[in-house]
Amino acid sequence: MTTSTTKTSNRVGIRTCSDYSPFGVELDGRTVSDGYRYGYQGSEKDNETKGNGNSYTTEFRQLDPRLGRWLSVDPLAKDFLEWSPFNFVMNKPLILVDLDGKAPTDIIIKGKNKSSVTLKTDLIDITVDASSLDVDFGGKFTLQGEDVLSAGLDIVGILDPTGVADGLNAGLQAKNGNWLDAEISALGIIPYVGDVAKVGKISNDVKIIDNAIKAVKAEQRAAKLSKVERAGKNFTKAGKEAVIDVNKSKNKGDVNCTYCGTKTVPATKSTKGVTPSKVERQVDHIVPKSKGGSGTPKNGQVLCRDCNTKKSNNK
């Protein structure tokens, strides 16, 4: 099996097309380089050593593609004791990428005002500056999940010229059956053409990341309000809001009943002669208050009025 890289250098105007073995050896008769310095995974070829490009230079180490091994120890070796410190992408070059010579750990996207998001992944290790896209994340956050990862790879693909992030995202989308998004990401491997195709997605990608940040903030607030025990007590107003916010973050902006999954509506003020809606939301104790259940967000759940009534009747 081979991997291919096709890129145009905006520095020298040279187009290169190369086929490689999985670990980066250029295949004879299938490479057109014309002196272009960058190759496998976008790494710089070391043309000063004997053999014309027998290794690739990254920020931290050099890779020998003939051995499929780095020529020095991984800076993060202590975090991967089960692996040789010289291993390249954990011996999985068809699915993992290492652009800087450290074990693949994170995607870091920097925004305006020193904000950033770190996306936990074992696919690629890369840092990009998205401040030019007018993105401000409002702080520093660590996020996880395939939706967030895919959105992050889209943004990285706009800013990183190698096309590696777009290739990874195309595979991720295809695995999940999102063929249109997979095709758009695959186009991103082609300089400029792919970036134009993705323009309409970037605003949605930023929204996905923003929603994930809101979820993290909601969890943090709920945890903070749960530090002081309120055994056998009602929820505070802030506690109820925290339970609702956590529910909303898990349901893409909707507040759904924990029991039946129905989308709920905000509670209204009781009016004589008016029957409240069955889907009116109520914040309820998971462990009943009568049994010492805490009136803090960690013991809270959202129920529709109908489910809460049925629950009370079945006690």
DSSP state of 294: B
User: In whole angstroms, how large is the CA radius of gyration of the chain?
Assistant: 26
Q: b/e for 100-124, b at 16 or more Cβ within 10 A?
A: bbbbbbbbbbbbeeebbbbbebebb
Beta bridge partners of 17: 6, 32
Q: Return the closest-CA partner of residue 33 out of 61, 9, 68.
A: 9
Element (H, E) at 246: helix 237-250
List the beta strands (DSSP E) in the chain.
3-8, 15-20, 26-32, 44-45, 56-57, 62-64, 69-70, 106-110, 116-120, 126-129, 140-143, 281-285, 300-304
Check pLDDT > 90 for residue 305.
Answer: yes
Q: What is the pLDDT of residue 4?
A: 44
What tokens appear for 210 in the block?
């923003």
- If one compares 27 and 129, the residue with the highest pLDDT of the two is 129
pLDDT digits (tens, 9 = 90+) for 249-270: 989 889 999 999 999 999 888 7
Is the whole-model pTM more than 0.85? no
Q: Residue 2: pLDDT above 50?
A: no
Answer whether 234's CB lies under 8 Å from 295's CB. Answer: yes
Q: Residue 181: count other Cβ atoms within 10 Å of its Cβ.
A: 19
Token code pair at residue 138: 């409002």
Lowest mean pLDDT among 39-53, 141-155, 251-265, 275-289: 39-53
Sign, CA dihedral 207-165-107-147, equals positive
Q: Would the pLDDT of 52 be above 50?
A: no
Given a cut of 80, is residue 117 above it in pLDDT? yes
Q: Report the chain's mean pLDDT, rounded to a whole number.
A: 80
Choose from 2-11, 21-30, 122-131, 186-195 the range with maximum mean pLDDT: 122-131
Output 305 or 37, whichever has higher pLDDT. Answer: 305
pLDDT of residue 165: 76
Query: Which of 30-34, 149-153, 163-167, 306-310 comes out lowest in average pLDDT?
Result: 30-34
Q: Quick one: average pLDDT of 91-116?
A: 78
Say how far apart CA 241 and CA 283 lie, in whole Å: 9
pLDDT of 1 > 60? The answer is no
Strand order in the sheet with 26-32: 3-8, 15-20, 26-32
CA dihedral 154, 159, 161, 162 (to 10 degrees): -50
Distance (Å, rounded) from C-alpha 175 to C-alpha 208? 19
CA distances from 2 to 20, 21, 24, 31, 129 (A): 5, 5, 9, 12, 31
Which has the closest alpha carbon to 164: 186, 134, 133? 186
Residues 153 and 166 sit within 8 Å (Cβ to Cβ): yes
